[in-house]
């Protein structure tokens, strides 16, 4: 029977790891160990030391950045069993993923980049979208575990391509959110009922995940912590790096990556990504977007 | 019983006017009269001269631009009955709408701007989203007729705001389409399976109407005529004009409006809006987006 | 002998009008009359009522916007003598200029748009650059007066083109200032000696009027009032309007116009245009540009 | 007496190396050896093998990219004498410079990044601007040699900062050129005499090195090979990389970097950087910028 380990029990990792326990022994580790013990108590996983996770057949990581993953890999690489599969669910950098895959291969282990979309809600429900980069055969071995938390699990190409697709997905989400905020700031100044405008746009061709799922809350000024603005800015930066690596031209993505850094600089470290709207409003220079409300211009 | 007139039987107007015939007498007019006669034969409307449409209780217009509507208004204004409602479904300019409303008011008539979203398919099905600017009481009198072709009919504010919301809806659709094309051009260069990437993004937070409805066809290189690129560029221009009128700052909308003009300049006059993807590909400098295909970078 | 009138004795108009007094009788008018009386006392001009300026052979206006000029024209038009030349040195809108020219022509008068560049310093020295739109023959009649304050006086085309060139000149100045600020914010973070960097760039291909004349002061945090940020934002808006009118694509100019509005929204009403640098610094998110200083990154 | 070596006799290196011969023995090397022999014959330098250049006290490199320099360093590092100074005049990457400096230091040698501005003309005249990163003491030892071809030689900070300043200088030059082209495309459509407009802008605040030195030739459609568009696009990419490394926000620089890639993709490999104007014209969608000419709009 397969033993899984899950490293990184943050807002995403904590619920993701809970699904693994249904399939077999699940080792959990977190930088602050109390969180691992809480997970063990709640879901029947086993809180272990970092070194002990090296005994797992499949090791999952879900951390803020590729640098964090590299730090763990440095420590675990000498301890890994041949045949281990390392599945990195971090929103990482493709180049880092390719390098990690190479180091693991030299140790007889394999690597999949498998970042996820769907937020804490999707993680709890086990319906995350998972974009996988790596060998088909490796994915098939790890698939049952990945499907425990994933509703859509698709291989998008060789190692690193999962990270590449995730970076594009996230920068698109940011583009949609930012552009919608610009549009609504303009409509507000023109005396439009924003609530009605959102309803009709969400029934029209201008709709997006962002307008359907985020904007109703934004117009109520609800900015619950969900996904940090600093991480979204990082992801957009990865997408831009990838464009530059292939010497491509992506003016809208580049512009959005730059604007996100400015929004981040104007907010607190813990700001949620949706709070970029506040910077859009400040740039626009008038008022605050609130449902149904419109200035008299 | 209410008599309706419909002026402008293009790709949208032709099917929209067909629904009115279920509610009562429907006069139809088109610049090229053969099209009106065809409509009469097919749906039981009555093809008339422009002057005869002035006898209707509610006059609908659905034309390429506000300038075209102004041309008709110049000719019909002296002939209108008091109490007439003029419903303009054109994707027009808010300032033009406000001026038209004023002229009609002086003649004892009323104005609604009521642009629509949903394309020829939605027009045929009678499920268009309709964003209405104007007096609530006027809308209520015209509502049964508007709902004959509209699935979602929402008042978004005073005269002109329907046009404003439509311009924002359309520029958002363009932003989404353009940014998605940039993202896929980058992914293609990174060796990604584009078909799989689209499926997983459409299950993730980066999805939009554009990615769900347009991109599957784009990856198959299907660019059937649906909505002209030149009209989308015009609409984005209106959105930018509106931003400037209120002295706002909308960098992503402005950049998209500029890029659309460049895309338009590189295509034929009849190009469909989805063909903007070809200009994105040319800017990116590599290959052509085709489903499932990825360059070896 | 020619009688000149000068309307609008602001930071530019006050010294410009002083040069006219050398050539003949000079009537001066200002919204706040004390300023006109001061001018008369200092330079031997004659402070008059607005109506009295209509007796001049050549009427100069130098006001914040075309709307302000229109207001004066409304009042003076019925009083003008045939043959009068109206020279508008405002940074105005081409469309407004064309309309003003038409109204004046119907009254037997002529119009030149003649905006200037060079700031209060150039105005005092009588070395302004003057970009003139209008009939060659009209310009030749007014040339001696214009050359009293202009070092370079060039006809750039028919009525309105002077305004068009001025708008482009000013948006270019803004582009250069903004881009240089972005570059220096980046260099500062990389541990560069900004003073040395400015010296070497000013000896290199990256230099501009902005880097040569404005940046040395900016690095010393000197932001003396010279030319308002709100007026620069207005001028960039005119340039963008002109691009849209001809359905052109100018992504850098459009982006700069948008960013200027955001900078303006973040500053006080009286902020100098060079203070846009403070918004660039805020977007960049680190520190403040000071000569010779570099963060330790 | 100091022996100098110069590696890379391209359009810049060839004339730069000629000045060194006045100060002492000068070894020259080029990938295609004929060019080195021609240099020796013309200026009295000595054409040698790559390995022989390791005997010089000061080694200059002037190559297309940092990768090219790294290739030479790999081969020469084992052969270098302690105390050697390696002066890299390439428009390189700061990170590459820091790595090269470290490798040289381990071999007892020193590194300066010393990119130049001024083009082949400045190189021939010995009046280049040189932006130097590295230790002050190292620069002072190499200064006489550097000043043989440099008119302005300024230390801007530690190793890597010379490259950083050069990247910013070049992207600024590109911004100015691009924005000026956009402005002139707009003016042309508005019926402006472009030649007169250029003269007056060059006497005004909108002027730049690009408008003063490049635009007069561009309006005559002269695009002599001077500096490749592909190299300018690379430099702008370096500037953008540097912004991202410090997590900064530089929207105008980013947009320009993206547009340059698009311009490059639309031109031949050998296109001069000024030919980016052709892409600006294509985006604008109308006509071609020619001195004095204006469309009738």
* pLDDT at res. D289: 83
Give the distance between the most distant pair of CA atoms in chain A: 69
Question: What is the least distance, in Å, from the CA of B187 to any CA of chain C?
Answer: 24
Q: Look at residue C157 and give its three-state secondary structure.
A: strand
Nearest CB neighbour to C249, from listed D199, D213, D285: D285
* Cβ(D255)–Cβ(C255) below 8 Å: yes
Alpha-carbon distance of D222 to D218, in angstroms, equals 6
Alpha-carbon distance of D87 to D115, in angstroms, equals 9
Residue A180, C-beta contacts closer than 8 angstroms, at least 6 positions apart: A206, A208, A210, A211, A215, B172
Query: For A78-103, what is the mean pLDDT?
Result: 97
DSSP characters over A129-176: EEEEES-HHHHHHHHHHHHHHEEEEEEEESTTHHHHHHHHHHHHHHHH
DSSP structural state of residue C3:
-
Alpha-carbon distance of C142 to D254, in angstroms, equals 46
Q: Is B1 on the interface with A (CB under 8 A)?
A: no
Four-point Cα dihedral A234, A237, A238, A239, nearest 10: 130
Q: What are phi and psi of C128, to 5 degrees?
A: -65, 150
Neighbours of B32 (CB within 10 A): 8
Q: How far apart are the first and last CA of chain D?
A: 67
Q: Is the pLDDT of residue B108 over 60?
A: yes
Alpha-carbon distance of D35 to A32, in angstroms, equals 64
Q: Which of A81, A124, A166, A217 is catalytic?
A: A166
**B7 beta partners:** B29, B61
Alpha-carbon distance of A248 to A241, in angstroms, equals 10
- Residues of D with CB below 8 A from C209's CB? 204-208
Q: pLDDT tens across B251-280, in order? A: 999 999 999 999 999 999 999 999 999 999
C297 confidence band (pLDDT: 50, 70, 90): very low
Q: Is B249 on the interface with C (CB under 8 A)?
A: yes
Question: What is the least distance, in Å, from the CA of C180 to any CA of chain A?
Answer: 16
Query: For C129-139, what is the mean pLDDT?
Result: 98
Q: pLDDT tens across D181-230, in order? A: 999 999 999 999 999 999 999 999 999 999 999 999 999 999 988 899 99
* pLDDT at res. B264: 96
Q: Answer whether B256 sits within 8 Å of A179, measured CB to CB.
A: yes
Query: For C104-128, what is the mean pLDDT?
Result: 96
Q: pLDDT tens across A238-274, in order? A: 999 999 999 999 999 999 999 999 999 999 999 999 9
Q: pLDDT tens across A132-147, in order? A: 999 999 999 999 999 9
* pLDDT at res. B191: 95
Q: Is the pLDDT of residue D297 over 70?
A: no
- Residues of B with CB below 8 A from C242's CB? none
**D46 beta partners:** D27
* pLDDT at res. A294: 57
Q: Is the pLDDT of residue C296 over 50?
A: no
* Cβ(C150)–Cβ(C122) below 8 Å: no
Size of interface C-D (CB pairs under 8 A): 278
Q: Is A170 on the interface with B (CB under 8 A)?
A: yes
* Helices A276-284 + A161-189 axis angle, to 10: 40
* Cβ(A147)–Cβ(A170) below 8 Å: no
* Cβ(A146)–Cβ(A97) below 8 Å: no
Q: Is the pLDDT of residue A295 over 60?
A: no
Q: Is the pLDDT of residue B167 over 80?
A: yes
- Residues of B with CB below 8 A from C255's CB? 251, 254-255
Neighbours of C95 (CB within 10 A): 16
Nearest CA in chain A to B178: A252
* pLDDT at res. B293: 57
Query: For B143-162, what is the mean pLDDT?
Result: 98
Alpha-carbon distance of B205 to B47, in angstroms, equals 48
Q: Which helix (H) or strand (E) holds C50?
A: none
* Cβ(D213)–Cβ(D107) below 8 Å: no
Alpha-carbon distance of C258 to B264, in angstroms, equals 22
Q: Is C265 on the interface with B (CB under 8 A)?
A: yes
Q: SS3 sequence, chain B? A: CCCEEEECCCCCHHHHHHHHCCCCCEEEECCCHHHHHHHHHHHCCEECCCHHHHHCCEEEECCCCHHHHHHHHHHHHHHCCCCCEEEECCCCCHHHHHHHHHHHHHCCCEEEECCEECHHHHHHHCCEEEEEECCHHHHHHHHHHHHHHEEEEEEEECCCHHHHHHHHHHHHHHHHHHHHHHHHHHHHHCCCCHHHHHHHHCCCCCCEHHHHHHHHHHHCCCCCCCCEHHHHHHHHHHHHHHHHHCCCCCHHHHHHHHHHHHHHHCCCCCCEHHHHHHHHHHHHCCCCCCCCCCCCC
Query: For D33-45, what is the mean pLDDT?
Result: 96
What domains are there in chain D, each with its CATH number?
4-158 (3.40.50.720), 164-284 (1.10.1040.10)
What sign for the dihedral angle of Cα A234, A239, A244, A250? Answer: negative
The chain-wide mean pLDDT, for chain C, equals: 95
Alpha-carbon distance of C195 to C212, in angstroms, equals 12
Q: pLDDT tens across D73-129, in order? A: 999 999 999 999 999 999 999 999 999 999 999 999 999 999 999 999 999 999 999
**Is B228 labeled as catalytic in the residue annotation?**
no
- Cα angle value A218/A220/A225 (rounded, 5°): 55
* pLDDT at res. D294: 57
Alpha-carbon distance of A50 to A45, in angstroms, equals 15
Q: Look at residue D224 and give its three-state secondary structure.
A: coil
* pLDDT at res. C225: 87
Distances (CA, A) of B25 to A11, A286, B28, B51, B151: 61, 47, 10, 16, 22
Neighbours of B241 (CB within 10 A): 17
Query: Within its chain, how far is the Cα of A90 from the centroid?
Result: 7
Nearest CA in chain B to C259: B249
Q: Answer whether D249 sits within 8 Å of C203, measured CB to CB.
A: no
Q: Is the pLDDT of residue C295 over 70?
A: no
């Amino acid at each position: 029977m397969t033993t899984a380990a899950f490293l990184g029990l943050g807002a995403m990792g904590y619920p993701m790891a809970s699904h693994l326990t249904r399939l077999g022994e699940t080792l959990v580790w977190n930088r602050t160990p109390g969180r691992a013990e809480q997970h063990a108590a709640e879901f029947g996983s086993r809180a272990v030391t970092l070194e002990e996770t090296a005994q797992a057949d499949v090791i999952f990581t879900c951390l803020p950045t590729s640098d964090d993953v590299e730090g763990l890999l440095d420590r675990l690489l000498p301890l890994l069993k041949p045949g281990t599969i390392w599945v990195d669910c971090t929103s990482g950098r493709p180049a880092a993923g390719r390098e990690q895959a190479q180091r693991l291969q030299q140790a007889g282990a394999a690597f999949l980049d498998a970042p996820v979309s769907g937020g804490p809600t999707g993680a709890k429900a086990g319906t995350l979208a998972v974009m996988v980069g790596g060998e088909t055969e490796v994915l098939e071995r790890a698939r049952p575990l990945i499907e425990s938390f994933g509703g859509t699990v698709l291989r998008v190409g060789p190692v690193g391509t999962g990270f590449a697709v995730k970076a594009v997905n996230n920068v698109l989400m940011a583009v949609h959110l930012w552009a919608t905020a610009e549009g609504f700031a303009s409509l507000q100044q023109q005396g439009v009922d924003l609530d009605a405008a959102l309803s009709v746009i969400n029934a029209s061709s201008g709709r997006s995940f962002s307008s359907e799922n985020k904007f109703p809350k934004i117009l109520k000024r609800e900015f619950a912590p969900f996904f940090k603005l600093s991480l979204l800015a990082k992801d957009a930066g990865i997408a831009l790096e990838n464009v530059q690596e292939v010497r491509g031209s992506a003016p809208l993505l580049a512009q959005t990556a730059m604007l996100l850094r400015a929004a981040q600089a104007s907010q607190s470290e813990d700001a949620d990504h949706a709070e970029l709207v506040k910077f859009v409003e400040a740039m626009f220079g008038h008022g605050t977007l609130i449902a149904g409300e419109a200035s008299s211009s």
